[in-house]
Amino acid sequence: MKLHKEGNGTITVVVLFLLIVNSAVYYFSGSTTALTVSLVASLPLLLIVLNFFRFPKIEPMHNDRAVISPADGKVVVIEEVEETEYLKTRCIQVSVFMSPLNVHINWFPINGIVKYFHHHNGRFQAAYLPKSSTENERTTVVLEHKNGKQILVRQVAGALARRIVCYANEGDMAKQSEQMGFIKFGSRLDIYFPLGSRIDVKLDQKVNGRQTILGWLE
């Protein structure tokens, strides 16, 4: 199983912590039985961490007219809203909630130029709450397609997520289904479509990053 580079530090800390705990168990108990029990109890934690940072090998979808899901998860919002940070207009917001069991790599949903990037400090409320989009720790990325239409993608931290990583820089040329960033533990992504866009997903639908078409630029 391939692991994402963003997990290197966390995995190292967890492995060292488990080594210390299990060594202490054996040192103070002197019992191989106690050590075996401790090792068995430690295994689920290690597997959970490894699973969280997994980097699955899949064939990404490419369609220059489509907006591909930038994350694995479940669609929790489809609604018309006013986007006030950059686009400053009415948009269709589609939000994908990622549980701790989902892959947490984020992907560029379209081809285009990175027109805007900003990181916002904020709170760490549950990511499924509507107000998390404007109050939580978050980053905002705006991508402009060659046809002139713009998509705004917002990475939102959750109650457990304490670090958002974004690889986008203003002026970069983004390529659909290539890595945009990573959010550690439960979180969500908000995608803002131009008003009138065709949306192909429904509420509570499970989506796959780089695979599921959320909607179209038409």
Catalytic residue numbers read 187
Nearest CA to 200 among 175, 187, 217, 178? Answer: 217
Q: Locate tokens 């489809």: which residue?
A: 78
Q: Cα–Cα distance between 145 and 156 in angstroms, integer?
A: 23
Q: Cα torsion for 73, 77, 78, 83, to the nearest 10°?
A: -110
3-class DSSP assignment, residue 173: strand
Beta strands in 6-134 (DSSP E): 66-68, 73-83, 89-98, 105-107, 112-120
3-class DSSP assignment, residue 154: strand
Q: Cα–Cα distance between 77 and 94 in angstroms, integer?
A: 5
Q: Cα–Cα distance between 185 and 98 in angstroms, integer?
A: 8
